[in-house]
Amino acid sequence: MITALFNSFKDLNILIIGDVMIDAYLWGKVDRISPEAPVPIVSVNKKESRLGGAANVALNIKALAARPIICAVVGDDAEGEEFLTLLAKEQINASGIVKIANRQTTVKTRVIGQNQQILRIDAETDAEITQEETQQVLTKFKQILDQQSIHAIIFEDYDKGLITPYLIEEVIKVAQEKNIPIVVDPKKRNFLSYKGVDVFKPNLKELKEGLKIDFDPKNSLELKNTVAQLQEKIASKSILLTLSELGVYVLNGEKESLTPAHIRTVADVSGAGDTVISVVATCIAAGADIFTAAQLGNLAGGLVCEKVGVVPVNKELLLQEALKL
């Protein structure tokens, strides 16, 4: 059954609406301190730019053999061009990208010396896009839906200004008319704006900030009550709460489940959330139930934590691990 589910991924088109960025890396070695200030000097010997943010979700969807399509904004700048080049290189559909003049394309540059991150430099704006720019994004979104079947929509929110309450409302309205499931990876700003979606996937920090509440996730009653409180506010069909080393908790109507995390050697947790949402959305698009989707997402998130840096999930490895379970 799991093998058949994985085989069906290749027939799916998944639309990702979210904040895209470039993850840039400068690698080098440190063997002296600057005479100008008490800071290390990194002699750079390697530079790399990768797709980040919602575009990393697209890479994960592609790694699962489904077809990702991104709907997003970039600046009309050199970095925006570089982003489009990276997309083309990965053969990811860019028909939903809107270029905005006088807006900065988000670039997160990590400076790594002796395999250790020394510094991160963020060049970005998190100002909300205007109503007119939102209309441009919605036009692209509707064109994509007219041109091909979309089997699921992911909202990948990084609070960088693309996703506004108006955009959320309009996309949900169209998706519900067309019966397309919506899966959400929320952030703080629009946390309670995603009403009536199919799967809402916050992590523990986002849930606490979004509801302005503190609770002990190890206390099953507190956990259950807090998620039920969120459910009352957003009326989502399912809530999938990721609890890092505690696993994932799912609430679907009256049914609930807590899947413990798989014990792994954690090398790097960055990008794990992107992997979880990608696997969950692809499974939902393929017709799997939320509990199966959550178990596979949990497993995939653990697998990518074994790798250093932001890397997409390995489909074959995920299938092998799932069959073992």
- pLDDT 10s digits, 208-243: 999 999 999 999 999 999 999 999 999 999 999 999
Say if residues 299 and 318 touch (Cβ distance below 8 Å).
yes
Count of beta carbons in the 10 Å neighbourhood of residue 191:
22
C-alpha to C-alpha distances, 210 to 54, 129, 162, 312, nearest whole angstrom: 20, 22, 19, 28
pLDDT at residue 222, rounded to an integer: 96
* Amino acid found at 59: L
Q: Give the residue from 58, 109, 64 showing the smallest Cα distance to 84.
A: 58
Phi then psi for 223, rounded to 5 degrees?
-60, -50
What integer pLDDT is reported at residue 312 of this predicted model? 83
**Tens digits of residue pLDDT in 151-198:** 999 999 999 999 999 999 999 999 999 999 999 999 999 999 999 999
Q: Stretch 141-150: mean pLDDT, rounded?
A: 97
**263: confidence class by pLDDT, cuts 50, 70, 90:** low
Rounded distance, CA 253 to CA 238, Å? 7
Banded model confidence at residue 268, pLDDT cuts 50, 70, 90:
low
The whole-number average pLDDT for the span 45-71 is 96
Contact by Cβ (8 Å): 282, 152: yes
Q: Which of 23, 77, 198, 274 is catalytic?
A: 274
pTM, entire model: 0.94
Residue 274 bears catalytic tag: yes
- In the block, tokens 């720019």 appear at 133
Q: How high is the pLDDT of residue 325? A: 81
Residue-wise pLDDT for 121-137, tens only, equals 999 999 999 999 999 99
What is the rounded CA–CA span in Å between residue 70 and residue 58?
Answer: 7
Identify whether the C-beta of residue 94 lies closer than 8 Å to the C-beta of residue 84.
yes
Give residue 308's pLDDT band: very low, low, confident or very high (50, 70, 90). low
